Structure 1
Amino acid sequence: MPPRVTPLSTSQSIRSAPGRVPVSQPSSALPPAARIPAQSRFAQFRKQNADRTPDAKNDALDRAAAGSAKALDRRILAMHVEGRINVSNKGLERIPQVVFDPKSTLDDLAAANEPNLPQWWDFQDVTRLVAADNRIAELDDKIGALGALTVLDLRNNAIPSLPASISTLPLTHLTLSNNNLTAFPDFACLPTLHTLALSRNRVRALPPELARCTALMRLEVAENELVDLGGLGACSSVEVIVASANHLTTLPPALFLLLHLTELDVSSNRLATLGFLSTATASADPTPLSLPRLRRLDVRKNQMLRFADASVVAEGAAVGNARMAPVSWALPALEELLAGYNRLEDVDALVGAAPKLATLELSTNRLSSVPSSVLPLALLHRLDLSNNAITTLPPQLGLLPLDTLVIEGNPVRNLPQGAGKSTRILLQGLRDRIKGGPAGGLAGADVGAQGAGAGDILGGGKAGSVLVPTQADAAARVVNLSKRGLSDGDLANMRDALSVPALAFEPVSCDASDNKLARVPDLVYDWAHLTVLSLAGNKLERWDAIVGDATGPAPLTYLRELDLSRNALAMFPDVPGGSSWRPLFPALDTLILSYNRIGRIPETVNQMFPKLTVLLAESNRIVEMGRPDVSLANLEVLDVRNNEIAKVPEELGLCRKIRAVKMEGNPFRVPRQAVMQQGTDAILKWLRDRLPTPVS
């Protein structure tokens, strides 16, 4: 028989097995509180707290809030050391006072013996303030005390108006999207602004004072209540306009003054037509309406029957002392056109003027056939024609370099077998229908396996070759001579073939880049309305230019952009002697001279190019800049990176119109890097402060 084991008492079990919790204990062994049933313990808790007043409860909450506020103050003080403050998504109803007066908050925390506080002399001027995603309903007038603030982000709040003190700030980026604004005040139209974001408000009109924003590059006003875009014509630097989901019924002609515009989004409005009209003097020839740098145009979800109607105003109709010219287009850089969900029946006027289109979206319109202007688009990769009334597909469509072709929702008959499986099979089936193979495709255009571009020269570009422009070239008035291996002699022999009568159109853009040219071709002087000229990547060593005299017509009167980068130029063109002369390029806006051998910027630049606003001269051998206040008085953008500039002239600070200066990669020691990193305004101020007579 096994030995009898005597059970231990509860106390003995606990003592013999420290750390072990018994499975059960008699109620007499539990502490008094534990012997009370759970329901009774809750009642006892309520009884014990019944005497606490609401004020006592609020005091507890206040202490917790005070602790949280103190922690936020400490974090903001730490941000003052960097000069960049981010208080986004904190549930704030106002911007904390420590943002505007860190010294007082620092003193208060120091008096309360808070440890590890920053030193006040480590504080930097606040240049960036982000208070997005809060509940701020009023912007404190003390915002004006942040005199160095360049970036202010207040998106996703409840702000109905702005304080007048904001007019004193040197803001370059102002973001007020998704607030309660009903108007954008005139005093907030700052000349320093580069980006203005007002989307998702209730703004009904843009103020005329927006014209003061001469440095504005990006404007976002989507999802407001705008009925027009007036006031933009003077904002000559604008590159991006996002004005979707408003109440626009027409677009102002002033948009064609925005020569730097690269993106325009006016989708989800009430546009019946783009409606651009141009005025000309009675003796002037009508010229196409040109946006030479526009790359993306989004006009989806409007009410357009056509992009532009040449019969809107009959030619010769008097308007004051001017006549209205028929509408035509020149969009030589357009790569993406989104025009779905309209009522378009005819798109050839605009599509034919955009030879570089890569994406064309025309879904859900009223097209009865594939537009003929699509067929010459040698760079087109995506074409969406879904949900129209197209019944047949032209075989030439198969010659395009399409990656995606969408035709669903059309009553197309006799599709190639297997066409629904992939774009590749559909295109191959269309090509198989062309008699004689791909060479028998597009008349007058070489679009085959080599993917030749618009305006190809048949015969390899040798002397005597014949230029056969495509329909897109003629509509856009573009001459493409790029990458043909052309010499000066070749172009001289082709001058007759490239004349206006032979081309049957007046060119407004010419690309002769990446050839073997050693001099500026004379044929460019034959094209009176040329606005864009590229001679980049050639062998130009000097500028053999024909300069107009005081009695004859000024050559290249309309030229606005000239690209001479990647040549061997050693100097700028100089002003000839004597008084009987006129500028060669009276309207030139942009001059690109990067990657040449230029040694200095002469003081005569402003005389040769009186309207020059953009000068790009990166990677040359520039040692000195002369007197920029004389030679570059109208300049807005200056790029002289990677040159040999040993000293930045203080007079550059007198160029009041400059909004962007790039000078990295030069051997100068001042301004120091700390100043350079603060941006153009800081650089110009630093230079002005060092003039013999300080300039305010």
Structure 2
Amino acid sequence: MSRLRRGAMTGDPRAGFRDHRDKEPPVPQGLIRAARKSGQLNLSGRGLSEVPASVWRINVDTPEEAHSNVQFDASDRWWEQTDLVKLFLSSNKLQSLPDDLRLLPALVLLDIHDNLLSELPAAIGELVHLQKLNISHNKLRSLPQEVSQLQNLKSLLVQHNQLEEIPEALGQMTDLEELDLSNNCLKNISGGLGSLTHLTRLNVSNNKLKALPAEIGSLKRLRQLDCTSNLLEEVPTSMAGMDSLEQLYLRQNKLTFLPELPDCRILKELHVGNNQINTLGPQHLSHLSCLNILELRDNKLKSLPDEIALLKGLERLDLTNNDLSSLPNSLANLPNLKSLQLEGNPLRGIRRDLLSKGTQELLKYLRGRIQVPEAKSEQGEAPGVTAMTMPSDSLVNTHAIATLKTLEYSDKQAPVIPDAVFNAVGGSPITSVNFSKNQLIEVPLRIVELKDSLCDFNLGFNKITTISLNLCMLLKLTHLDLRNNLLVSLPDKLEAMTRLQSIILSFNRFKTFPDVLYRIPTLETILISSNQIGSIDPLQLIKLTKLSTLDLKNNDLLQIPPALGNCESLRSLNLEGNPFRNPRAAILAKGTNAILEYLRSRIPT
């Protein structure tokens, strides 16, 4: 009988097997051997209440097979093993970790989420090479001071625990880029947080915070800040200096006014729904020209200032459930506004049937109420159209081309875009083009003439069946609207659009989710409702780390893969109108967070 076999029978602590009387499921010896070669060991979902000692000592003890009288080929040379660098222990029943954790000093990633841990050993601080630590979904009430010794840590995920405070020493982890403290019991955060100057993502949502430290303004690299569901009555004025901020979530707090953010000039999303905001003034809006989404639903706003028209990049404005009795006509001057939500307001002077016709009809109505003084000739008379009028003058708004950098030729029902429209551009740098509501069957070839400046392209409500490669040459495009066409696929070369942030593909004829979208990591919004899509690949969607809005309603999805719940960047997920049975309507009605939580709970362990 070999030494390996005897080890299995006697419960040798260096062997990868447990005593046969032990109720713990064994860790297959093959996994241990493979881990020595790859440097990775995945023991997730094995029902472990403790980790076998052989795992902690994998790089310390001589492998059992070294004592066996066997021949080794090139692939089984245990003496050429690599140190363990990645260890996955998630979805088990671990209540504690031993000090033997220090025997794995080469670890770069340690994932222990979804266990029963109530504390971490001080030895955690000896894993000095650790870059990612996931201890979310446990029962931790505190973090040991030693965690501050993890000077190379870049990602610390502690969400869904029972933390009442975080150690002041956390501010010493200066390489930290991602910190998730959401869904805990925190009542305050120390000013030491301001020392985390490399932080790009901070989530403190679903806690009991009444205030944020003034030092938070020192986080000059922060791109995403989520403070949803706390008790904040105001935010520190120092936040105005966070000039890298792109997404700010302040939903479900007790704010009475919108924060003034004069230096947050690249802010793209501002979510302040479910607060008590009753005033919105010019000082709150004047510096937010890059804002794409402004969510103000469930507040107490009585009016909007005319300066709302300064938000030239605004695409979605949610004013649901406020106290608005009227709307400023200047809303019609928002060139990119695609979604204006007004349900639950006591609006007067605007017919209900007009509100039900959608955003574009409402904007058209407001545009008609704007009084534009007619230009007069030197003789004091309004000029008429003469034989000398240039064709481009009658086709497009040359003033919009020169001042707003916008080329508008929409709602003409034209089968092609006349050359005169492109000729009118001259040498002007155009950033926005609207060719919607025509009869186009293809993308106009001359659009490539605008490739050096074009950022926003609207081709919605046409009859386009295929996307030609000239569209893929618009490398500066950030927003693309292709809704209500006849598309069944997208070209692979669309992935060259490395700046694309949002794409609208609703009301087309897609039967499969376009694979190319999985390969555009800059995407933040994908609207692809009302098609015939039968499945999605959650493992590919997870790679889109910036994706915050995904609309899949009214498709043919027969099932929703549980792994979709791991797409933690999603802030808005719409699945209504599909034929799947689970999640049920009651879960869908609770919103995105509830859907993702439900899906995560269905992931097999």
TM over 0.5: yes
Matched AA of 1:406: Q
Q: Report the counterpart of residue 232 of structure 1 in structure 2.
A: 193
Match 1:136 to one of 91, 94, 100: 94
Greater mean deviation of Cα atoms: 139-148 or 331-340: 139-148
Q: Report the counterpart of residue 355 of structure 1 in structure 2.
A: 289
Q: Report the counterpart of residue 227 of structure 2 in structure 1.
A: 266
Q: Report the counterpart of residue 187 of structure 1 in structure 2.
A: 146
SS in 2 for 1:232: helix
Match 1:414 to one of 349, 353, 363: 349
Deviation at 1:432, TM superposition (A): 1.5
SS in 1 for 2:195: coil
Instruction: Please say if 1:250 is aligned against 2:207.
Output: no
| 8 Å Cα contact 1:265-1:298 kept in structure 2 | yes
Compared CA separation, residues 459 and 433, structure 1 to 2 (3 A): closer
SS in 2 for 1:157: coil
Cα distance in 1 for partners of 2:158, 2:105 equals: 23
Cα distance in 2 for partners of 1:452, 1:140 equals: 68
Q: Report the counterpart of residue 176 of structure 1 in structure 2.
A: 135
Compared CA separation, residues 113 and 377, structure 1 to 2 (3 A): same
Match 1:426 to one of 355, 362, 368: 362
| 8 Å Cα contact 2:90-2:114 kept in structure 1 | yes
Deviation at 1:228, TM superposition (A): 1.9
SS in 2 for 1:142: helix
Q: Report the counterpart of residue 97 of structure 1 in structure 2.
A: 53
Match 2:262 to one of 316, 320, 329: 329
- Residue deviations 1:327-383 (CA, integer Å, cap 9, x gap): 763210100000000000123343333221000000000000124442211000000
Instruction: Please say if 1:386 is aligned against 2:343.
Output: no
Matched AA of 1:160: S
SS in 2 for 1:343: coil
Q: Report the counterpart of residue 589 of structure 2 in structure 1.
A: none
| 8 Å Cα contact 1:378-1:452 kept in structure 2 | no
Cα distance in 1 for partners of 2:363, 2:313 equals: 15
SS in 2 for 1:289: helix
Q: Report the counterpart of residue 161 of structure 1 in structure 2.
A: 119
Q: Report the counterpart of residue 332 of structure 2 in structure 1.
A: 398
Spell out structure 1 runs of 4+ moving beyond 6 A: 64-67, 112-117, 448-453, 456-460
Match 1:106 to one of 63, 70, 75: 63
Cα distance in 2 for partners of 1:449, 1:152 equals: 59
Q: Report the counterpart of residue 530 of structure 2 in structure 1.
A: none
Matched AA of 1:224: N
SS in 1 for 2:355: coil
Deviation at 1:81, TM superposition (A): 1.0
Deviation at 1:409, TM superposition (A): 0.2
- Residue deviations 1:400-458 (CA, integer Å, cap 9, x gap): 1211110000001122553312211111111111122999xxxxxxxx979979xx979
Cα distance in 1 for partners of 2:369, 2:21 equals: 79
Deviation at 1:225, TM superposition (A): 1.2
| 8 Å Cα contact 2:280-2:303 kept in structure 1 | no
- Residue deviations 1:292-327 (CA, integer Å, cap 9, x gap): 11000000000111134xxxxxxxxxxxxxxxxxx7
- Residue deviations 1:196-253 (CA, integer Å, cap 9, x gap): 1110111112211112111011110001111222121111111110000111111111
Q: CA RMSD in A?
A: 3.4
Q: Report the counterpart of residue 198 of structure 1 in structure 2.
A: 158
Matched AA of 1:301: Q
The structure that has the greater radius of gyration is 1
TM-score, normalized by length of structure 1? 0.49
| 8 Å Cα contact 2:142-2:166 kept in structure 1 | yes
Cα distance in 1 for partners of 2:285, 2:94 equals: 46
| 8 Å Cα contact 1:251-1:276 kept in structure 2 | no
Matched AA of 2:157: A
SS in 1 for 2:63: helix
- Mark the runs of 5 or more structure 2 residues left unpaired by the alignment: 1-17, 376-395, 407-426, 430-451, 454-475, 477-605
Compared CA separation, residues 112 and 451, structure 1 to 2 (3 A): farther
Compared CA separation, residues 145 and 421, structure 1 to 2 (3 A): same
Cα distance in 1 for partners of 2:43, 2:167 equals: 30
| 8 Å Cα contact 2:305-2:328 kept in structure 1 | no
| 8 Å Cα contact 2:405-2:428 kept in structure 1 | no
| 8 Å Cα contact 1:346-1:371 kept in structure 2 | no
Instruction: Please say if 1:207 is aligned against 2:167.
Output: yes
Q: Report the counterpart of residue 504 of structure 1 in structure 2.
A: none
| 8 Å Cα contact 1:378-1:451 kept in structure 2 | no
Cα distance in 2 for partners of 1:438, 1:67 equals: 85
Q: Report the counterpart of residue 151 of structure 1 in structure 2.
A: 109
| 8 Å Cα contact 1:94-1:140 kept in structure 2 | no
Matched AA of 2:224: E
Deviation at 1:101, TM superposition (A): 2.1
SS in 2 for 1:174: strand
Match 2:276 to one of 325, 329, 343: 343
| 8 Å Cα contact 2:159-2:180 kept in structure 1 | yes
Matched AA of 2:124: I
Cα distance in 2 for partners of 1:438, 1:421 equals: 30
TM-score, normalized by length of structure 2? 0.56
Number of residue pairs matched by the alignment: 367
Matched AA of 1:293: S
Deviation at 1:159, TM superposition (A): 1.0
Cα distance in 2 for partners of 1:420, 1:197 equals: 43
Deviation at 1:144, TM superposition (A): 0.9
Percent of aligned pairs with the same amino acid = 30
Cα distance in 2 for partners of 1:438, 1:129 equals: 72
Cα distance in 1 for partners of 2:397, 2:105 equals: 60
Q: Report the counterpart of residue 218 of structure 1 in structure 2.
A: 178
SS in 2 for 1:216: coil
Compared CA separation, residues 206 and 353, structure 1 to 2 (3 A): farther
Cα distance in 2 for partners of 1:438, 1:248 equals: 55
Matched AA of 2:264: L
| 8 Å Cα contact 1:336-1:358 kept in structure 2 | yes
Cα distance in 2 for partners of 1:306, 1:147 equals: 49
SS in 2 for 1:379: coil
Counterparts in 2 of 1:667-686, with a 5 A limit?
none
Matched AA of 2:312: A
Matched AA of 2:78: W
Deviation at 1:112, TM superposition (A): 10
SS in 2 for 1:268: coil
| 8 Å Cα contact 1:77-1:98 kept in structure 2 | no
Matched AA of 1:174: L
Compared CA separation, residues 115 and 125, structure 1 to 2 (3 A): closer
Cα distance in 2 for partners of 1:438, 1:72 equals: 83
- Residue deviations 1:81-135 (CA, integer Å, cap 9, x gap): 1001111111111122222223758317965999999432232111111111111
SS in 2 for 1:375: helix
Matched AA of 1:305: T
Compared CA separation, residues 124 and 373, structure 1 to 2 (3 A): farther
| 8 Å Cα contact 1:431-1:438 kept in structure 2 | no
| 8 Å Cα contact 2:308-2:330 kept in structure 1 | no
